[in-house]
Structure 1
Amino acid sequence: MNVGRILDQKGNDVIAQEAGCTVLEVAKLLGERRIGAVPVTKGRKLVGIISERDVMRGLAIRGGGVLADDISTLMTKSVFTCTRDDSVQHLMAMMTERRIRHVPVLENGELVGMISIGDVVKERMQETEQEAAALKEYIASA
């Protein structure tokens, strides 16, 4: 099982934010779209990622004034990414080890998708259900 299959099922539509906007603009986008993180781009090139946790941490440390700041003050600039060919197991291990919930998918250096921990869990649950059904069918036919 690979990342490409997840993208094929959920679609490649990526909600991204262009660099140079404010923290308030990102907070509104996160709330309106009910998502946990947004990749930050310059054109199609990934330059960072900002999550609701980043926004909350910024508010806790610097107060409401942080909302007027450029997102570059809070975003993670060194982003862990994957490709469509990466396995779901590899992605799960990376997300667990790095304690991250959202991973942008790159192809030829361009942003083509976004995978969340929820996407990974859903995929693993479907795999487990398929394996259980196959085992039941095997046992019943024996």
Structure 2
Amino acid sequence: MKTLQQVLNQKTHQGIISIAPNRPVYDALVILAEYKIGALAVIRDGVLVGIFSERDYAREIVLKGRSSKTTRISEVMTEKVITGKPDELVESAMSTMLEKRFRHLPVVDNGKMLGMLSIGDILKETISYQQELIKQLENYIHS
């Protein structure tokens, strides 16, 4: 099974899509729509300080009747972010994401964010690994 760094290396978009905590939520929504993603890293002075997701928007803006144009990201972002390490195996990350019930995992090494993986990225890699394993077992059986 691959490491998180190997999965990050395979992604077509290598850049980190982020937003500053002092920006309005509306700006985050524009970025999410533009890149067709579900979450943004919230970065201040080069350091990951939170994550803002569609889930945060639904729970903290829509359901509470707040304005996305006047509410700042820092007011509604998830601050306690679980991160993965580049040498962590996909299987371990998937277990953590499923157990803790979150869909976006920033990969961080020595305080520096390397990228973000979604549960879709993790599942895609897991399925690919299992398909390859099945193929190898079938070849072994037939030889």
Greater mean deviation of Cα atoms: 77-86 or 2-11: 2-11
Aligned to 1:35: 37
Could you tell me the percent identity over the aligned residues?
A: 36
**2:91·2:126 contact (CA, 8 Å) conserved in 1?**
no
Q: How many Å separate the matches in 2 of 1:65 and 1:114?
A: 27
Q: Name the aligned partner's letter for residue 70 of structure 1.
A: R
SS in 2 for 1:68: coil
The Cα shift of 1:58 comes to 2.2
Aligned to 1:118: 120
Q: Name the aligned partner's letter for residue 129 of structure 1.
A: Q
- 1:102-117 aligned within 5 A: 102-117=104-119
Aligned to 1:5: 6
**TM superposition score normalised by structure 2:** 0.93
Q: Name the aligned partner's letter for residue 117 of structure 1.
A: I
Q: Structure 1 segments of 4 or more deviating over 6 A?
A: none
Q: How many Å separate the matches in 2 of 1:9 and 1:64?
A: 38
Count of matched residue pairs: 141
Q: Name the aligned partner's letter for residue 126 of structure 1.
A: S
Q: How many Å separate the matches in 1 of 2:66 and 2:72?
A: 13
The structure richer in helix per residue is 1
**TM superposition score normalised by structure 1:** 0.93
Q: How many Å separate the matches in 1 of 2:112 and 2:75?
A: 23
Aligned to 1:21: 23
Q: How many Å separate the matches in 1 of 2:26 and 2:17?
A: 16
The Cα shift of 1:109 comes to 0.1
Unaligned runs of 5+ in 1: none
**1:2·1:88 contact (CA, 8 Å) conserved in 2?**
yes
The Cα shift of 1:65 comes to 2.0
SS in 1 for 2:63: helix
The Cα shift of 1:52 comes to 0.6
Q: How many Å separate the matches in 2 of 1:140 and 1:64?
A: 62
Q: CA RMSD in A?
A: 1.3
